[in-house]
Amino acid sequence: DKYEVSNSDYKKYIDATYSKSPRSWKDGKFSADDADLPVMVTYHEALSYAKWAGKRLPTEQEWEKAARGPGLFDDSIKTISYPWGNDFRPEYANCREFWANGVANEIKKKFYLHGKGLLPVVSFEKGSSPYGAINMSGNAGEWTSSWYRAYSGNKRSDKRYGSQYKVIRGGAWYSPRDKIRAASRQVGGIPDLYSDNTAGFRCVRKAKILDRQADHN
């Protein structure tokens, strides 16, 4: 998906399936003021939405490829650290430095904001990835379907490794610059995958023939 799933997107799912509202909605009610912000849900809520939409959650490898472009698996192309390139740009992502450096003033005026927090999923088009995906750094962390396990060849032990927690990618609006790098990974599902609602998400689906044809037109 080009964008993170918004609250208005999720409301369509709630209305269609009569599912329970996420805990991130105040008093369990949808707010029109938050319609365009990324919805904050548990892993299983994200999983259910993706299935309803005819899609699925990305693996962390798929997520990173979408964020960093073809260079991730092609040595002939330079790999980038952030979706937009190697140089950190605080005005390109909703992160700690964005709010701290005064570059947020224009955004605050545009959306009538008085404090720090999530921004609409369509924000920060300048910081889009090589494939055109927006907000892959900052704003809301994003669930992946991958278990939080050690990479091949990793010798560092971590009691969180295994089939208990999921990988969250992208960092959040309060994350520092090193945590919103495309390669950075966080742990999701503490205390469990049914109650941790600290992340948003975007979906993926297998490319179809018509998609491939459109890419060549």
Residues with Cβ within 8 Å of 203's Cβ and at least 6 positions away in sequence, in order, are 1, 5, 49, 50, 53, 55, 56, 57, 58
181-191 pLDDT, tens digit each: 999 999 999 99
pLDDT-derived band at 78 (thresholds 50, 70, 90) equals confident
What predicted TM-score, i.e. pTM, was given to this entire model?
0.91
pLDDT above 50 for 216: no
pLDDT for the residue numbered 106: 73
| E strand or H helix at 145 | strand 142-147
Burial class (CB in 10 A: 0-12, 13-18, 19+), 191: exposed
